[in-house]
Amino acid sequence: MSSWEVKTIAQRAAEAMPESVLAGAGYVLLAVGFAAAFMALMGMALIYAERKVAAHFQCRLGPMRVGPHGIFQTVADTIKLLFKEDIVPSQSDKLLHLFAPYLSMMATLLALLVLPMSPVVQIADMNIGVLYVTAVTGFGVLGVLLAGWSSNNKWSLLGAMRAGAQIISYEVSATMALLVVVMFSGSMQLSKIVESQAEGWWIWRAPVIGLVSFVIFLIASLAEISRTPFDLPEGESELTAGFHTEYSGLRFAMFFLAEFINMFIVAGMAATLFLGGWMPFHIGGFDTFNSVMDLLPPGAWFSLKSGLVVFLIMWFRWTFPRLRVDQLMKLEWKILLPIGFVNLFAAAASVVFGWYFFPIR
C-alpha cells in the first residue's frame, strides 16, 4: 500500500484538472460511474435482503424460485421494471412528473459520494462532510414533493405533503445528533471523524451521550427516509402508495432504489459517526486484542457495521406499526428535540471536562 498513495477520486480529479480538463472529466465520470453502479448493485442486494429478512421475521421463506434461494429474484424484477410501460397520467404536470424521480435519485447519489466505506474507497472527502450530507439528503424531499404535486392525484399530494412536513421536521433532530459527534471529534470531515474513533467508538466512548444521540439519529433518519414506523408518505393502507402512486416502470424503480440506497446511507452514516466507520473494533491499551481485530480489512468492518444497522432498520420495519401524522410531529417536537438539546449540552460539558473513556491523546 505504501507505493500507492491513498487519494480519493475527487482529489485525483482536482489534481488532474489544471493540466488536462479531459483527464479531470474522466475522473469525474469514473466517480459517477462507480457511484451509479454501486447504487444499482447495492440496491438490488438490499431489496433481496429486505425480502428475505422480512420473510423470516414472518415465518415465511421469501423468494425461492429464481436461482438458488431466489437470489436472482431482484434481477428478474429489475428487468421487469425496465420493460414496463412508463405511464404518465394525462392530467399531470408532465415535465415535473418526469423530472421528480431523477431529483430523488440525485440526492441519494450525492450523499453516497462522501461515504467513507474504507480508507481507499471514498469518492470525495470534504472538510464539511457532515454538513454536506445533511444538506443533500434534505434535497431529496424536493423530488418527493414534486412527484406528489405533479401526479395530480389527491392521495399522492397527501403523501407528498406528509413527506415534506416529516422530513423537514426530523432533519432538526438528526442534525442535533450529528452535532454531538462533530463536537466530540472536532471535525466535520468524515475521514477525520472515523480516525478519531481509533481508540473507541463514539457510541460507547462517551457514556450514555453517544448512545442517546445514536438512538436519536437512528429514529430521525428513519423518519427522513420514511421507513416504518414513519412510512406515512407511502402509508400503503392509507394512501395506497402515497407520492409514487402514479409512477410505474423505470421511474417507479428510481424511487424504489433511492429509498433503499437512502437506507444504506443512513446505515453508513450511523456506522461512520457512531460505530467507528471502517475502524476495526479497538479498545485503547489492549494491543493484542486490537491486532487480532485488525485482521479483518477495513471495508469488511464497514460492511459489517452498516449491515448491522440495515438489519436493525429492517427489524423495526417488520415489527412496528405506523404512527399518525400528529403523533409523528409530537414525537419530534416534544420528545426527540428536547432530549436532543439536553444531550447536546451534556456533550458540550463532556467535551470541555473530558468525560469520556480514553480521552484523545
Partner 1 sequence: MSAITVTSLDERIRRSIGADGGASTTQEYFVNMGPQHPSTHGVLRLVLKLDGENVREVIPVLGYIHRGVEKMGEHLSYRQFVHLTDRLDYLSALANNWAVAKAVEKAANIETNERIETIRTIVAELQRIASHQLWWGVFGMDLGAFTPFLYGFRDREKISDILEETIGARLTMNYIQPGGVMFDIHPDFQRKVKEFLTYFRPKLEEYETLLTQNVIVQERMRGVGVLTAEKAVSMGATGPVLRASGVAHDLRRSEPYGVYAKAAFDVPVGRNGDCWDRYWVRIEEIRQSMRIIEQLIDNIPEGKHLVVKPAVRTKVPEGIHYSQVETARGIFGVMLVSDGKDVPYRIHVRTPNFNNLWTVTETAPGWRVADLVTIISSLDIVVPDIDR
Partner 2 sequence: MVVSESNQVVAPPIQRGGFFSNLATGLKSLLKGMGITFHYFSRPSTVVTQQYPENRATLKMFDRYRMRLSLPHDENGFHKCTACTICEQACPNSSIRIVSRKGAVTNKTELDRFIWRMDSCTFCNACVVACPFSCLKMSGDFECSVYDKSLLVFNLTRYAGPTSTVLMKVTDPQERAKMWEPRDVYSGPVPLRGTAVPGGGRTLGAPEPVKASAPVAAPTPAPATAPAASATALAVEEEGGKK
Largest CA distance in the chain: 67
Closest by Cα among 134, 167, 173, 168 to 338: 173
Q: Rounded to the nearest whole angstrom, what is the least distance from the CB of residue 136 to partner 1 in the complex?
A: 28
Question: 8 and 124 in contact (C-beta within 8 Å)?
Answer: yes
Contacted by 155, from partner 2, partner 1, none: CB < 5 to 8 Å by type: partner 1
Q: Is 47 in the site for partner 1 (CB under 8 A)?
A: no
Cα gap 103→109, rounded to integer Å:
10
Q: Is 123 in the site for partner 1 (CB under 8 A)?
A: no
**How many residues bind to partner 1 according to rule CB under 8 A?**
29
Three-class SS of residue 224?
Answer: helix
Closest by Cα among 196, 257, 194, 259 to 224: 259
Identified binder of partner 1 from the candidate list 34, 72, 281, 318, rule CB under 8 A: 318
Residue 12 or residue 162: which is nearer to partner 1 going by CB?
162
Contacted by 94, from partner 1, partner 2, none: CB < 5 to 8 Å by type: none
Cα gap 188→210, rounded to integer Å:
17
Contacted by 232, from partner 1, partner 2, none: CB < 5 to 8 Å by type: partner 1
Identified binder of partner 1 from the candidate list 93, 195, 238, 294, rule CB under 8 A: 238
Question: Candidates 118-126, 130-138, 228-236, 337-345 — which segment interacts with partner 1 by CB under 8 A?
Answer: 228-236
For 66-108, give the DSSP string.
SSGGGTTHHHHHHHHHHHS-----TTS-HHHHHHHHHHHHHHH
- Number of neighbours of residue 318 by Cβ within 10 angstroms: 14
Residue 158 or residue 177: which is nearer to partner 2 going by CB?
177
Q: Is 91 in the site for partner 1 (CB under 8 A)?
A: no
Site string for partner 1, 132-171 (x = CB under 8 A): ----------------------xx--x---x---------
Cα gap 190→279, rounded to integer Å:
12
Three-class SS of residue 251?
Answer: helix
Identified binder of partner 1 from the candidate list 22, 321, 352, 361, rule CB under 8 A: 321
Q: Rounded to the nearest whole angstrom, what is the least distance from the CB of residue 50 to partner 1 in the complex?
A: 12
Residue 64 or residue 348: which is nearer to partner 2 going by CB?
64
Q: Is 40 in the site for partner 1 (CB under 8 A)?
A: no
Contacted by 316, from partner 2, partner 1, none: CB < 5 to 8 Å by type: partner 2
Q: Which helix (H) or strand (E) holds 301?
A: helix 298-317
Question: Candidates 54-62, 67-75, 209-217, 271-279 — which segment interacts with partner 1 by CB under 8 A?
Answer: 54-62
Residues near partner 2 (CB under 8 A) are 53, 55-61, 64, 315-316, 318-320, 335
Q: Rounded to the nearest whole angstrom, what is the least distance from the CB of residue 179 to partner 2 in the complex?
A: 22
Cα gap 276→282, rounded to integer Å:
9
Question: 173 and 220 in contact (C-beta within 8 Å)?
Answer: yes
Residue 34 or residue 320: which is nearer to partner 1 going by CB?
320
Q: Is 322 in the site for partner 1 (CB under 8 A)?
A: yes
Q: Is 258 in the site for partner 1 (CB under 8 A)?
A: no
Question: 216 and 177 in contact (C-beta within 8 Å)?
Answer: yes
Q: Is 246 in the site for partner 1 (CB under 8 A)?
A: no
First vs last C-alpha separation in the chain: 27
Three-class SS of residue 90?
Answer: coil
Q: How far is CA 111 from the centre of its chain?
A: 8
CB-based burial of residue 355 (10 Å sphere; 0-12 exposed, 13-18 middle, 19+ buried)? middle
Residues 6+ apart with CB under 8 A from 334: none
Residue 219 or residue 241: which is nearer to partner 2 going by CB?
219
Q: Is 190 in the site for partner 1 (CB under 8 A)?
A: no
Q: Three cell numbers at 302?
A: 464497514
Q: Is 17 in the site for partner 1 (CB under 8 A)?
A: no
Cα gap 278→251, rounded to integer Å:
34
Contact residues: partner 1, CB under 8 A: 54, 57-60, 154-155, 158, 162, 228-229, 231-232, 235-240, 318-327
